[in-house]
A and B are shown apart, each in its own frame.
Chain A
Amino acid sequence: MTVPLTAYLVVGALLFAIGLYTVVAQRSAVMILMGVEVLLNAIGLNVVAFWRFTAPGDYSAQILAILVVTVGAVEMAIGLALVLLLYRQRRTAEVDAYADLKR
């Protein structure tokens, strides 16, 4: 039996919803970054699924998927570096505490 495209898309949408919820609901910067990673991977899953079912002969979609993963890794590195710096300065990773621009 083959898994239909709809199943991949449902899993992708679920992943996206989980990521979105994580980004919106979590207070910790690390958790928000996790959510962003989940969002990114939901997109990646969608890209791969669409490639597999619509144009399996065209490999540019795989390049796009690899690019998404790469960008995600790079973004993760930069994001974690920023959070680490912020944590060193403020002794906290709660994003609501970073409200200096409000004054």
Chain B
Amino acid sequence: MTALLAVPLLPLVAAAAALGLGRRLPRGGGELVVGAVALALAGLASLPSDAALSATWFESGGYRLTVGLAATPLTRFVAAVVAGVAVCVGLYGLGYMAGRDDRPRFFAELGLFVGAMLTLVLSSSLALLFAAWEVVGLASFLLIGFDHAEPGAAAAAAKAFLMTRIGDVGLLLGWLLALAAVGTTDVDALVGAVEGGRIGPGTVTAMALLMLAGAVGKSAQLPLSAWLPDAMVGPTPVSALLHSATMVAAGVFLVLRLYPVFAASPGALDTLFWIGAATALAAGLIATAEADLKRVLAWSTCSQLGEMMVALGLGGPGAAAFHLAAHAAFKSTLFLAAGIVQERAGTRILVRLGGLARALPFAGAAFLVAALSLAGVPPLSGFRSEEAILAVASRHGPGTGALVVLLVLLGGIYIGRAGAATFLGRRRGAVGPSGPDWAMRAGLGLLALAAAGLGWLLAGRFGAALPFAAPETEAGWRRLGVAAGLLGLGLGAARGWSGAPALGALPARLAAGLEAVTEAPARRTLWLARTVPAVEGALDAGARAVAGWAWRSAGWAGRVEEGGFGRGGDRLAAGLAAGGERLRALQAGRLYLYTLGLFAWTAAALAAGALMLWP
């Protein structure tokens, strides 16, 4: 059981160590974090199949809040994806961050993220899951704003934090509702209660919709998707790990983990489907017009996550989990290749790139593999996973099948355009001299291998590695999907050769409109966030006034003490001293004075006595 506990703890410990010792290590603490994550991955592989760990955090009334980890087949699968991608991206990050002074902070935040993400995935308690969910959001905020001196980084970080927070409120209310309905935060208990029909259908639907809000925020689905493209100001390893492969997949994972709850509520499933479909279409369209390479990939991430939501909404959790893994591999490959492009060319704007295939053969080859995988070209990973989604959709009806084919076509178009504009054609800008170092090559190469072979590896192991039944695809749909992907690639490459939008100006206008609409809630949250400091400022001013008044009265008291008591005391002492000086003369040692005094006193006493006794 300690191995299970060590899986999320290792990266966290390594993060703390990187923060403390990073300055003295040659790679800035990155080697600690990468090593710890690799160890965690090994520990994950060596776990017994039903490892679980649970404890009661506290009980209150009839409610029992638990904390625990459980390595079910699903959680172990997703945790392996997270740790695997994290190792590769961390390796790449060693080279990417080389020579920077703030590396320890970067790797510490990365380690914090990986530890929290593994906790989130492995958690068997909704309370712990929510806590890890929030820590992951915090890590995302920190890492997006890592280059806080860069223009827009702080604003993008705040935007991402606030927009995901809107969804997180839904998740919080959702698990509190589950706690109220079941009496414990244990996931298995909740699933058992839902499957046993012990919770009313209305409650189940409300719970599912509330949790869906959390998933929508985290996975950047409509209407909370505008933060993800802006998050691309973060360092490239962050974009690859958090904002394509793992953190944004947390929303999909949440639905997967609680799938029985969603499956028990047709309304929630329909909502899931429509949100996913709308996001996938809109984000895919926008990606064909986006001018920035990383933002193309970000919108593509939104679109692919939408595709997973579609699969979930249509009752295909297996396909969604499969696509989650495949997408994690190929999309982080694309991001890492884009990071190398940016480092060499100094820009991510597509119209200034071009013709980089000869200068960057390694990155170009990796990008090609991942792009073909995204477009669903056999036999790469994306082909297998999109085939699985197509199988679910086509079984549901021809309309949904056509939707998925359309999404594959869109994916081909935008990635074909991005790849062609970056690597093919005429070179439109200068290229810097340095090539990627071995660590970057190793991370990118491993991920490219996964992007190529993971699908083949997993497709044969449905039920073992992936705890779901294998979907069956009709040959016709499969051919249609492959044809759509190839057509999209060709179309995108042909139309976007020079970096121009592939489908005209309409998607750009769509993006602008979407931006305006979806930013409204974030703006309101931001307004709220700015109002709180104003109120606090007023309170602060009040407190300062009170403190100032107290200060002044203390000053008065001090002056009274100094002027009144102090000077009075001084005067008294001076008077006593002067009196003593005068009395001193009486004790001068002159015997005749003593004698005279004695007789004078005696005479006075006698005189007084005589006066009094006179009749």
Contact = CB atoms under 8 A, between A and B. Distances in A.
Interface of A: 20, 23-25, 32, 95-96, 98-99, 101-102
B592 A25 contact: yes
Mostly, the B contact residues are helix
Contact of A98 (B587, B589, B595, B599): B589
B592 A24 contact: yes
A23 B595 contact: yes
Interface of B: 587-592, 595-596, 599
B588, B595, B596 interface centre (most CB from chain A within 10 Å):
B595
A33 to B, nearest CB: 11
Contacts of B595: 20, 23-24
Contact of B589 (A23, A25, A96): A96
Contacts of A98: 589
B589 A102 contact: yes
B587, B590, B591 interface centre (most CB from chain A within 10 Å):
B591
Contacts of B596: 24
Contacts of B592: 23-25
A25 B595 CA distance: 10
A20 B591 contact: no
Given A23-B595, A98-B589, A99-B589, 18 more contacts: A20-B595, A20-B599, A23-B592, A24-B592, A24-B595, A24-B596, A25-B592, A32-B591, A95-B591, A96-B589, A96-B590, A96-B591, A99-B588, A101-B587, A101-B589, A102-B587, A102-B588, A102-B589
Contacts of B590: 96
B534 to A, nearest CB: 76
Contacts of A96: 589-591
A24 B588 CA distance: 15
Contacts of B589: 96, 98-99, 101-102
A43 to B, nearest CB: 13
A102 B591 CA distance: 13
Nearest to B588: A102
Nearest to B596: A24
Contacts of A99: 588-589
B368 to A, nearest CB: 110
A24 B591 CA distance: 8
Contacts of B591: 32, 95-96
Nearest to A25: B592
B71 to A, nearest CB: 96
Contacts of A95: 591
A24, A32, A95 interface centre (most CB from chain B within 10 Å):
A24
21 contacts: A20-B595, A20-B599, A23-B592, A23-B595, A24-B592, A24-B595, A24-B596, A25-B592, A32-B591, A95-B591, A96-B589, A96-B590, A96-B591, A98-B589, A99-B588, A99-B589, A101-B587, A101-B589, A102-B587, A102-B588, A102-B589
A72 to B, nearest CB: 17
A95 B588 CA distance: 12
A95 B595 CA distance: 13
A60 to B, nearest CB: 23
Nearest to A32: B591
A56 B166 CA distance: 128
Nearest to B599: A20
Contacts of A20: 595, 599
Nearest to B593: A24
A98 B591 CA distance: 10
Nearest to A102: B589
Contacts of B587: 101-102
A23 to B, nearest CB: 5
Contacts of A25: 592
A98 B588 CA distance: 11
A12 to B, nearest CB: 15
B587, B590, B592 interface centre (most CB from chain A within 10 Å):
B592
A53 to B, nearest CB: 21
B103 to A, nearest CB: 80
A98 B596 CA distance: 18
A20 B587 CA distance: 20
Nearest to A20: B599
A99 B588 CA distance: 8
Nearest to A97: B589
Contacts of B588: 99, 102
A23, A32, A101 interface centre (most CB from chain B within 10 Å):
A23
A23 B595 CA distance: 7
B66 to A, nearest CB: 89
Closest 3 CB pairs of A and B: A99-B589, A24-B592, A95-B591
Contacts of A24: 592, 595-596
Nearest to B598: A23
A88 to B, nearest CB: 19
A102 B596 CA distance: 19
A32 B588 CA distance: 18
